[in-house]
Amino acid sequence: MIQPGSPAPDFTLPDQDGSPVALSAFRGQKIVLYFYPRDNTPGCSREAAAYRDALPEFEALGVRVFGLSKDSSASHRKFADKYELNFTLLSDTATCTLADYGAWQEKKNYGKVSMGTVRSTVLIDENGIVEKVWPKAKADTNAADVLAYLKGEKA
């Protein structure tokens, strides 16, 4: 995983509508960039719903939220519509940004080794520097953990 204090790798990726989104366009704002394995899976759906429900609190703190997976923009659009998501989903079908942040890793499942997305979250400060990393985020507590940190309730 990328380490706190590192410059956040810049990227331009399509959102759920296919429109390009560049990280550099959000300089001056804190960014929560959460990486998740797949649209419409139980854990990822609960995690996205938690960010959806907490979005007003993130916005009150001046923080933008982005979810990122290797799913296509079309898949993201269906996922966003189904769960009424009110934040941007980014599509990294080539897994380059996932790799740049260290979220694309070797995983083992029932003895089978494959590459996949590690559920994790990165907080990027106003200057484009990685402020905090949650390398093994939990689907059910990720949004609350990040919000608690932003409010100064957790280190």
Q: Is 96 an active-site residue?
A: no
Q: At what angle do helices 42-60 and 142-150 cross, to 10 degrees?
A: 20
Residues paired with 65 in a beta bridge = 32
Residues 146, 152: Cα–Cα separation, whole Å: 10
Residue 63 bridge partners (DSSP): 30
Q: Are 32 and 120 in contact (CB under 8 A)?
A: no
Given 21, 31, 32, 44, the catalytic residue: 44
DSSP 8-state assignment for residue 152: T
Cα distances from 121 to residues 51, 54, 101, in angstroms, run 12, 15, 10
Residues forming the active site: 44
